[in-house]
Structure 1
Amino acid sequence: MSSISTPTSPPTSPMPPTDPAPALENDNETPKDWMELALSKAEDSLRAGEVPVGCLFIYKNEVIATGNNTVNETKNATRHAEINCIDNVMKFCEKNNLNYQDVFRELDVVVTVEPCVMCAAALHELEIRSIVYGCPNDRFGGCGSVFDVSSLYKYKVDVTSGINAERAMKLLKEFYQGANPNVPLEKMNKKRKKNKKEAGIIKEPVQSPVVS
């Protein structure tokens, strides 16, 4: 994946596929506790005019990376919260002289919305331990809503859904019901006009018949 920088140390030999440990098995914090923090990151995204998705990467009961969507800011459609977190974990590994493969295998990912197919595939490629998400992603979900990415992999990631789903969905609705400040005004006006036409608010003018 192009967004992941090359590690300074060579990777170890791939380990044989194994079942991951249960999500947050011995942690002091619960998935709901972690989700509260992820939701606060999603609220930051909403205030910044980004799709409100917040994400945490947890390693040995410590948050080592947080992420928001920065698609509008960067004008890069791949800069989802999970991808930004992956980049931050790579920096964490380089700074602490850790093997990135070993770290990812012990990671729990907490994200407010079901990862899209792209992000779910990236997380499976890295063989993370678990994914905990809030509301489903009915348009792009890669954990079963649209496509189950896990069907492509022998290594199975533990997935838990529905944690604070209502709050996560509420943030999404607030974003899509409001005006995205990063969308060009001309494009926004066209979309509004189209929506009004579809709703029957604006009707095309009817031409009068020509009398010969």
Structure 2
Amino acid sequence: MGDAEKSAVVYCDAFMRAAFAEARRALAEGEVPVGCVLVPAEASCAANAERLDSSDGQSEASLGHLIAARGRNATNKAHHALAHAEFVAVKALLRDAAAKGQKPPTSLAGYVLYVVVEPCIMCAAMLLYNRIRKVYFGCANHRFGGNGTILAVHAAASTSAPAYESCGGHRADEAVALLQEFYSRENSAAPSHKRRRKV
């Protein structure tokens, strides 16, 4: 295997499973079940994918040193519209660098994002302007998708920021099932006059 093949970014299901673990935590907290992980691009390589994906029961703990940051939706808990999983993960990345006394990354060019649901338009723009290397997502976001479903923000047609690669459909059925579970519940964070009990 040549150097280019070794350094090429490839999909690694173990990282997507870690994103789903974050989504399940969000669901347990009453949030829309979207979770993500930011991984250094060199960790999302063929060698790691083969090694990590071959051990199906790979524990989350053993991935810890390969995952730079984790995020999950927290808009209800934080009462903040920007508390989407992607923003939470980037904030965690910066906070971790500061806690270690390190200089924070100036961009996301060295990172790959694994996220359960296609980034919304707002998150796709944040990822674009921060120069994310690549995004792998689960299911499409048919209301607000910014990676091609509604708008192709990632393609950067009208900006000076470089486009980023985006690849969806990874564990899509599992992502849809989580969303269906969330939307079958009553949203306790909604104003009482807007709450509707599901029947």
TM (norm. structure 2) is 0.77
Instruction: Tell me if 1:33 matches 2:7.
Output: no
The Cα offsets for residues 115-143 of structure 1, whole Å up to 9 and x where unpaired, read as 00000000010101100000000000000
The aligned amino acid for 2:73 is N
Question: SS state of the match for residue 24, structure 2?
Answer: helix
**Could you tell me how far 1:172 is from its partner in structure 2?**
0.5
2 CA distance for matches of 1:71 and 1:144?
24
- Alpha-carbon spacing, 1:96–1:26, altered in 2? closer, same or farther (3 Å): farther
Any idea what the Cα deviations from partners look like across 1:73-131, whole Å, max 9, x if unmatched? 111111100001111111233335235125x2110000000000000000010101100
Q: How does 1:126-205 map to 2 (within 5 A)?
A: 126-149=130-153, 150=155, 151-153=157-159, 154-188=161-195, 191=196
Aligned pair count? 168
Q: Give, in whole Å, the separation in 2 of the partners of 1:39 and 1:113.
A: 10
Find out whether 1:109 has 2:113 as its counterpart.
yes
Normalising by structure 1, we get a TM-score of 0.72
2:106 counterpart letter in structure 1: Q
Matched-pair contact (CA < 8 Å) for 1:31–1:132: no
Unmatched tracts of structure 1, length 5 or more: 1-20, 197-212
Percentage of pairs with the same residue: 32
> Aligned-pair distance for 1:47?
0.8
Q: Is the 8 A contact 1:31 1:163 kept in 2?
A: no
| Larger gyration radius, structure 1 or structure 2 | 1
**Secondary structure of 1:152's aligned partner:** coil
Offset, 1:184: 3.5
By how many angstroms is 1:169 displaced? Answer: 0.8
Distance in 2 between residues matched to 1:88 and 1:81, nearest whole Å: 10
Runs (4+) of structure 1 exceeding 4 A deviation are none
- Name the counterpart of 2:83: 79
Which secondary structure does the structure 2 equivalent of 1:57 belong to?
strand
Distance 1:76 1:32 in 2: 30
Match of 1:92 in 2: 96
Judged with a 3 Å threshold, the aligned counterparts in structure 2 of structure 1 residues 26 and 115 are, in CA distance, closer, same or farther, namely closer
**Displacement of 1:182 after TM fit?**
2.1
CA distance in 1, matches of 2:173, 2:103: 37
Q: CA RMSD in A?
A: 2.3
Structure 2's unaligned 5+ residue stretches are 44-65
Q: Secondary structure at the match of 1:55?
A: strand
